[in-house]
């Protein structure tokens, strides 16, 4: 039996039409009277600037840090109920964000529905001119939602027990120590290694660096003892720490982290002034409307103020970092300029 139709027997036959038409008229009246809150479409209730089909662009293949960043807000908006509509995640790999950056600036600058993930690695590539002619001034920086930190780790059976042991060994013979990191020469893992080498009085060109595909491959190589030192991020090592497979020589944060990472020593406390925060956040196209940009900014601010988002972020082993709008833009400009100077020092800029 069709829903909404009540059968009526007339002259031995069953008739639906009159009642069905009457019900359809009632539905039409109800829809008209409830238009202010919508009737099935959901569009009428949207706020000014609210996206029609919210999208998070991860500028990489599934499974990496950008994917994690998009999944973070996908879950965060759902748990906090700031955004009722689900956010779809789309993938646009290439150049640690270069392909996505070029597409948004060149071909899709007014996309009010899309936010694009970025990281410190993206800013480093911008600083080195790897995004073509575009700079950090060519997009609208939206929100930073979390921070990770760089680190160096060794296999549990390594003779290197402390960061000082590593630095002494590096100074003695830099070719003997094989570092493994995600990305190529000039990337953020290489850059952290280069800074360590410099602090040991070693020319970064003399060190042995194995470029690997990603954080997972770095850890696999470290566990297989194909490399002696792994360079990566705190969010990547949680399960291996719990299993006791690796030892962290130093975390590149300004002070000790909290929670399950509180026992990890920092480079600073061991006498080496090295910080490498890995910011995770989002930007939008340069020509998005003010209404859309403000809606997204307010939505991010509301989500980050909710304790439910703290739990979502913590579940991914990420730490709080909460800047949006103009404050984030200032931070990005400052960080990128510092990286530009660092890259020039190592002759990496184009």
Claim to verify: residue 124 and residue 223 sit in the same structural domain: no
DSSP string, 313-343: HHHTT-EEEEEEHHHHHHHHHHHHHHHHHHH
If asked whether residues 159 and 262 sit together in one domain, one would say: yes
Residue 25 buriedness (CB in 10 A; 0-12 / 13-18 / 19+): exposed
| CATH number, domain containing residue 72 | 3.40.190.150
* Whether residue 185 is found in the same domain as residue 323: no
The residue with tokens 């410190």 is 120
Residue 258 token pair? 């909290």
Q: Which of 72, 79, 75, 124 is nearest to 98 (CA)?
A: 124
β-sheet bridge partners, residue 141: 283
Give CA–CA dist 154/250, Å, rounded: 10
Tokens 């300029």 sit on residue = 337
Model confidence band, residue 110 (pLDDT cutoffs 50, 70, 90) = very high
Contact 155, 289 (CB under 8 A): no
Element (H, E) at 103: helix 98-106
Does residue 245 sit within a domain?
A: yes
Which residue from 107, 97, 109, 88 is spatially nearest to 61, judged by alpha carbons? 97
| 120 within some domain | yes
Q: Is there a domain that residue 34 lies in?
A: no
Report pLDDT digits (tens) over 141-159: 999 999 999 999 999 999 9
- Residue that finishes a domain, picked among 237, 270, 303: 270
Q: How far is Cα 183 from Cα 96, in angstroms, rounded to an integer?
A: 9
Residues 161 and 130 in one domain: no
Question: Within this chain, do residues 223 and 82 fall inside the same structural domain, yes or no?
Answer: no
Question: What is the model's pLDDT at position 16?
Answer: 38
Residue 291 counted as domain residue: yes
- Would you call 167 exposed, middle or buried from its count of C-beta atoms within 10 A (0-12, 13-18, 19+)? buried
Same domain, 108 and 256: no
**Which band of pLDDT confidence, cut at 50, 70 and 90, is reported for residue 64?**
confident
Give the per-residue pLDDT at 164.
Answer: 97
pLDDT tier at 95, thresholds 50, 70, 90: confident
Task: Quickly state the pLDDT bin for 165 (edges 50, 70, 90).
Answer: very high
In this structure, what is the dihedral angle of CA atoms 9, 14, 17, 20, given to the nearest 10 degrees? 80
Q: How many domains does the chain have?
A: 2
Predicted pLDDT at 295: 98
Q: How many whole angstroms separate alpha carbon 15 and alpha carbon 145? A: 60
Please report the pLDDT score of residue 350 as a whole number.
60
Are residues 170 and 162 in contact, defined by beta-carbon separation less than 8 angstroms? Answer: no
Pairing of strands 140-155, 229-233: antiparallel
Give, in order, the Cα–Cα distances in Å from 136 to each of 51, 98, 267.
24, 12, 29
pLDDT beyond 50 at 314: yes
Cα Rg, the chain, nearest whole Å: 26
Residue 170 placed within a domain: yes
Predicted local distance difference test score (pLDDT) of residue 65: 81
Average pLDDT over residues 26-36: 41
Do 205 and 118 belong to one domain?
A: no
Do 92 and 181 fall within a single domain? no
User: Cα separations (Å) of 3 from 6, 19, 23?
Assistant: 9, 12, 11
Domain range for 236 is 154-270
Q: How large a percentage of the chain has pLDDT more than 70?
A: 87
Domain boundary among 218, 235, 270: 270
Res. 279 pLDDT band, cuts 50 70 90: very high
Residue 349 has pLDDT above 90, yes or no: no
What pLDDT sits at residue 348? Answer: 75
Nearest to residue 69, comparing CAs of 89, 98, 40? 89
DSSP code for 164: H
Distance in angstroms (rounded) separating the CA atoms of residues 99 and 133? 13
Q: Residue range 243-264: average pLDDT?
A: 94
Q: Assess whether 314 and 252 both reside in one domain.
A: no
| Domain termination site, one of 216, 236, 270 | 270
How many CA within 13 A on the CB side of residue 110? 1
pLDDT tens track for 196-211: 999 999 999 899 999 8
Query: Is residue 7, in this structure, part of any structural domain at all?
Result: no
339 and 253 inside one domain: no
Given the structure tokens 């979502």, which residue do they identify? Answer: 312
Ramachandran angles phi, psi of 36, nearest 5°: -65, -25
Q: What are the b/e assignments for 123-139, b being 16+ CB within 10 Å?
A: bbbbbbebbeebebebb
Please report which confidence band the pLDDT of residue 27 belongs to, taking 50, 70 and 90 as the band edges.
Answer: very low
Query: What is the distance between the terminal CA atoms of the chain, rounded to a whole angstrom?
Result: 71
pLDDT at 174: 93
On whether both 191 and 132 belong to a single domain, the answer is no
Mean pLDDT, range 93-114, rounded to an integer? 92
Residue 294 lies in a domain: yes
Structural domain contains residue 299: yes
Tell me the pTM: 0.77
Band of residue 45 on the pLDDT scale cut at 50, 70, 90: low
pLDDT at 212: 85
163 lies in the same domain as 221: yes
CATH number of the domain enclosing 205: 3.40.190.10
């Amino acid at each position: 039996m069709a829903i909404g139709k009540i059968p009526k027997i007339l002259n031995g036959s069953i008739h639906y039409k009159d009642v069905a038409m009457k019900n359809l008229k009632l539905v039409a009246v109800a829809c008209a009277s409830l238009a202010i809150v919508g009737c099935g479409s959901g569009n009428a209730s949207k706020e000014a600037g609210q996206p029609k089909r919210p999208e998070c662009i991860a500028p990489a293949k599934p499974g990496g840090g950008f994917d994690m960043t998009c999944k973070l807000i996908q879950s965060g908006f759902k748990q906090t109920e700031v955004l009722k509509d689900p956010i779809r995640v789309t993938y646009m790999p290439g150049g640690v964000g270069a392909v996505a950056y070029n597409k948004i600036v060149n071909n899709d600058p007014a996309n009010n529905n899309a936010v694009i993930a970025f990281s410190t690695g993206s800013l480093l590539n911008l600083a080195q001119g790897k995004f073509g002619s575009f700079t950090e001034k060519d997009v609208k920086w939206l929100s930073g939602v979390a921070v990770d930190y760089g680190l160096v780790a060794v296999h549990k059976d390594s003779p290197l027990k402390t960061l000082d042991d590593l630095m002494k060994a590096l100074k003695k013979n830099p070719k003997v120590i094989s570092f493994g990191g995600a990305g190529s020469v000039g990337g953020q893992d290489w850059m952290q290694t280069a800074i360590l080498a410099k602090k040991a009085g070693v020319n970064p060109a003399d060190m042995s660096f194995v470029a690997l595909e990603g954080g997972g491959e770095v850890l696999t190589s470290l566990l297989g003892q194909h490399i002696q030192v792994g360079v990566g991020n705190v969010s990547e090592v949680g399960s291996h720490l719990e299993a006791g497979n690796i030892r962290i020589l130093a975390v590149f944060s300004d002070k000790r982290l909290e929670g399950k990472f509180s026992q990890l020593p920092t480079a600073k406390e061991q006498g080496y002034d090295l910080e490498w925060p890995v910011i995770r956040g989002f930007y939008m196209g340069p020509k998005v409307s003010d209404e859309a940009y403000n809606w997204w900014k307010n939505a991010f601010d509301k989500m980050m103020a909710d304790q439910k988002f703290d739990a979502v972020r913590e579940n991914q082993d990420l730490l709080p970092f909460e800047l949006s709008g103009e404050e984030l833009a200032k931070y990005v400009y400052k960080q990128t300029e510092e990286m530009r100077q660092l890259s020039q020092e190592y002759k990496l800029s184009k």
